[in-house]
Structure 1
Amino acid sequence: MAATPSGSDPCYNYTTLDEYWRDILQNQYQYYGHNDSAVEWSGWYRLYLNGKSAQMSEWCVSYIGCGGDVGLNLNGSHPSLEDGVVTREVFGSYMDSYQCGGYRSAPIQVKACPGDYYVYKLVKPDLSIYKPSYCAVAFQNISSDPCYNYESFDRPWRANNESGEIICDDSFSWNGWYRLFYFGMDIRMPETCASSYSCNAFLSLSLNGSHPQIEDGVVIREVQTGASMRGSCEYKSKPIRVKACPGNYYVYELVNPHFWCPGYCTGKKKHFPTF
């Protein structure tokens, strides 16, 4: 940890925290043995991952920890600049379980800062939680508008169970932004739970939430899936970024899921943008 120059505003008076194992976007099935209850937290912190500015996770990811036994994430969204210092609840999820938010830790203070980063007044997690760790996530900077810099992705069998290859997106080399098509027509990811095998994948991935509007810009959305014998999407995969574009279509920054043989679904043929 390295201290920054002194000052009263926590945006300029924080300690940097750069520990790779806090990243939920990496495949972290293994347990690293870290315990944030043993840390003497003092003051405000800014998060980095491998030198890149990061933020606390707003999402639970099933079966993935972030260095400890129970991963801690914000229960809600980050504040905006005009909000000033806010208090946010912190929830914890056991890395060996699909259940998200099974623990509640001590709340923390958060502030959005000029320069597009956040600072956190981290505190000792609730001592009833076994080896907790604060989770972080970092996304690559967007150098150009993804509405005009994407890869076209036309895989009709992702929209239904028409004959096609079995999808295993955990082994696919995702790289950047994608625009989804169905036989040349625009289509989008489903916003509700997709049943297993509904898009030629054992675990069907869908958005847990609505698509953005054009004025929202780039947003982050949680990705969900469910086991074949369950009727709901209880598992959470890695979040992705989504943007609504002029011309009534969406682009998605797809990433490698961490479950065995999952697949991003593209909804049904009637799922077209309406904005």
Structure 2
Amino acid sequence: MATTTARTTSISDPCYDYNTLDEYWRDIRQSPYQYYGYDDSLVEWSGWYRLYLNGESAQMSEWCVSEMRCGGQTGLYLNGSHPTLEDGVVTREVVGTTSWWYWYSNQCGAYSSTPIQVKACPGDYYVYEFVKPITSAPGPMYCAVAFQSISSDPCYNYESLDRPWRANNESGDYICDERFSWSGWYRLFYYGMDIRMPETCVSSFTCNTYINLWLSDPHPQIEDGVVIREVCGGIYWGGCCDYKPRPIRVKACPGNYYVYELVTQASWCSGYCTDVSTISQAVSTISPDIFTGSTITLSKL
């Protein structure tokens, strides 16, 4: 049975009228079978709840949770991203991972529970209208993770960078990223569609620059959080990674896209490339493209 501490006010907004839920076993980082045996289908849910872990603000997971990771047998998580402050109250699907014999073993999202309502609140936290989960899977439990600030999480605080020439050589000019004033995190687009940086060698002059920059390691998974990735540069007369500039930070985001903390590199004329084979239709609204840069024309060697 969940332990809740009621907080009531005269305001009907759930951001100011919620129950607190601070139960350490809900943390998805717990080892399998640790604190095992809880079941949210046995809880008398009533109203809205704010999650904590050991006194620190927490939130529901947005990615797949393995079995027996948060107090019960079937870990429940949101099948999608949290809302923004502007979205107000939204409805989100709740799914889980289970390996009951009639499910295919450990399939993410194989179990669907009752949808819940979610709201982002001023002060950087979320509230949830938890309800009794569907009992078609054993021990369903709402799982929690360390809180990601609504205002500081780069998945929701980035600039859109829609520069198709980073994926092909259609402009005829050499674009030098050293001329750009990089500031913060960027999400890459190709004519409005999501695109990623390449993870393999980029041929010279492919993305309208002299030194083509690409990631020498794979992109992270959502559960990895913010990671540091080495960057390689391919030079016309050399190999794929003769030039090794400053590393960058990368994060995988709910909605199947990535954000990059691009930085100025100390080279003569380099550019961050994108990979046309990774193009996918964007699943969220593109923010206004306010990023501008300069170009420089050089003759090919």
Tell me if TM exceeds 0.5. Answer: yes
Larger radius of gyration: 2
Q: Does 1:185 align with 2:245?
A: yes
Structure 1 residues 191 and 27: CA distance shift in structure 2, 3 A: same
Q: Secondary structure at the match of 1:100?
A: strand
Summarize deviations over 1:166-220 as a string: whole Å, max 9, x none: xxxxxxxx9986353457335679999xxxxxxxxxxxxxx993322xxxxxxxx
- In the alignment, the residues of structure 2 paired with residue 131 and residue 137 of structure 1 have an alpha-carbon distance, to the nearest angstrom, of 19
Q: CA deviation at 1:74?
A: 0.6
Contact 1:41 1:123 in 2 (8 A): yes
The aligned length equals 186
Q: CA deviation at 1:19?
A: 0.8
Aligned to 2:54: 50
Contact 1:3 1:15 in 2 (8 A): yes
Q: Does 1:210 align with 2:257?
A: yes
Q: Does 1:127 align with 2:187?
A: no
Unaligned runs of 5+ in 1: 149-157, 161-173, 193-206, 213-242, 249-270
- In the alignment, the residues of structure 2 paired with residue 22 and residue 59 of structure 1 have an alpha-carbon distance, to the nearest angstrom, of 14
Contact 2:227 2:251 in 1 (8 A): no
Q: Secondary structure at the match of 1:128?
A: coil
Aligned to 1:264: none
Q: Does 1:35 align with 2:39?
A: yes
Q: Which amino acid aligns with 2:57?
A: S
Q: Which amino acid aligns with 2:93?
A: E
Contact 1:22 1:134 in 2 (8 A): yes
Aligned to 1:82: 86
Contact 2:59 2:144 in 1 (8 A): yes
Summarize deviations over 1:51-90 as a string: whole Å, max 9, x none: 1111111111335521100000011111111111111111
- In the alignment, the residues of structure 2 paired with residue 175 and residue 91 of structure 1 have an alpha-carbon distance, to the nearest angstrom, of 21
Structure 1 residues 114 and 208: CA distance shift in structure 2, 3 A: closer
Identity of aligned residues (%): 56
- In the alignment, the residues of structure 2 paired with residue 48 and residue 209 of structure 1 have an alpha-carbon distance, to the nearest angstrom, of 27
Q: CA deviation at 1:98?
A: 3.6
- In the alignment, the residues of structure 1 paired with residue 55 and residue 99 of structure 2 have an alpha-carbon distance, to the nearest angstrom, of 25
Contact 2:76 2:94 in 1 (8 A): yes
Summarize deviations over 1:106-126 as a string: whole Å, max 9, x none: 010111100111100000000
Structure 1 residues 3 and 191: CA distance shift in structure 2, 3 A: closer
Structure 1 residues 75 and 145: CA distance shift in structure 2, 3 A: closer
Q: CA deviation at 1:128?
A: 1.6
**What is the correspondence of 1:107-256 to structure 2 with a 5 Å cutoff?**
107-139=115-147, 159=216, 178-181=228-231, 184-185=244-245, 209-212=256-259, 243-247=260-264
**TM-score where L is the length of structure 1:** 0.56
The equivalent position to 1:3 in structure 2, one of 6, 25, 29, is: 6
- In the alignment, the residues of structure 2 paired with residue 19 and residue 51 of structure 1 have an alpha-carbon distance, to the nearest angstrom, of 9
Q: CA deviation at 1:244?
A: 1.9
Summarize deviations over 1:204-245 as a string: whole Å, max 9, x none: xxx993322xxxxxxxxxxxxxxxxxxxxxxxxxxxxxx523
RMSD between aligned residues: 4.0
- In the alignment, the residues of structure 1 paired with residue 95 and residue 24 of structure 2 have an alpha-carbon distance, to the nearest angstrom, of 21
Q: Secondary structure at the match of 2:115?
A: strand
- In the alignment, the residues of structure 1 paired with residue 24 and residue 44 of structure 2 have an alpha-carbon distance, to the nearest angstrom, of 19
Summarize deviations over 1:146-178 as a string: whole Å, max 9, x none: 999xxxxxxxxx948xxxxxxxxxxxxx99863
Structure 1 residues 88 and 139: CA distance shift in structure 2, 3 A: closer
Q: CA deviation at 1:272?
A: 5.2
Contact 2:76 2:95 in 1 (8 A): yes
Q: Which amino acid aligns with 2:24?
A: Y
Q: Secondary structure at the match of 2:132?
A: coil
